Structure 1
């Protein structure tokens, strides 16, 4: 801060007229909106997965399909934990003047949650298609869908970031 101590002196050149605290507040609000979308998806998927074991068809599954199911449930549980983690993080550090650091860690948890959600959806799709079709083309179909997820979730955003980032 300068000798005058004005608030404008504490603002960083981020392309916006905001203090570090204001920037952290904005980034936190944006992150929570993003997490809400991912949380809803993973919670619905996880809830569905939890019911499968209680259906009569579960006992008829091949051992490989049961293993895929167990891995899928564990991945769904991990994705749920990572995507709910930012809420817990915020609650536990609120009022401690560490919002910029909390935003950074919440962002990391969200990214891990998205990767885990991707793997959960991949495993669930593999299981469903194996049970529904028993055809040899299932791995190719799943690979195609995963490639689509990767394009939508990572490739396009990274291309946009690369093309439009001025730093």
Structure 2
């Protein structure tokens, strides 16, 4: 079975398959973009709070990593839109789709870092630092399992790789 046939639906030609897959990717990105942009905006506001300015170096470092990871996630989630605008009408969707998909996956990786950084920032305020770090580590592992390990396991164990 060819790579193209593997992801086609009955009666679907290559152009229709690419259009459907692009639409599915955009639908997924809409959800990720909105939440990540809200997280980024919230993180930007934290730096200007007087209580935050008196926080220790650890908190400032976690914040910086979290803010940058959030910004990178936003950038990667929006990159397929820019990509599409630049290559629009050049009949490059077959090349654009796998790259845009990788951008989305990388955006999710940065989003995991941003979310767990946010959890660490919040839990470090309400409990001891070692407990906050331990709980945040559990949250990080949870994300990795559900966002990457399980989907990868399912993908690898599907007969003939026919899953979409």
Same fold (TM over 0.5): yes
Q: Per-residue CA shift, 1:80-138, capped at 9, x if unaligned?
A: 10011011111111100001111111101101100010111111211221123234211
What residue ranges of structure 1 are gaps of 5+ in the alignment?
Answer: 1-11
Larger RCO: Structure 1 or Structure 2 (Cα < 8 Å, ≥ 6 residues apart)?
2
2:103 is aligned with 1:72: no
Aligned equivalent of 1:7: none
How many residue pairs match? The answer is 156
Aligned equivalent of 2:45: 51
SS of structure 2 residue aligned to 1:95: coil
TM-score, normalised relative to structure 2: 0.88
Question: Aligned to 1:162, which of 140, 156, 163?
Answer: 156
2:26 is aligned with 1:32: yes
C-alpha displacement at 1:165, in angstroms?
4.1
Question: Aligned to 2:137, which of 140, 143, 151?
Answer: 143
RMSD after superposition: 1.5
What residue ranges of structure 2 are gaps of 5+ in the alignment?
Answer: none
2:102 is aligned with 1:112: no
Structure number with bigger Rg: 1
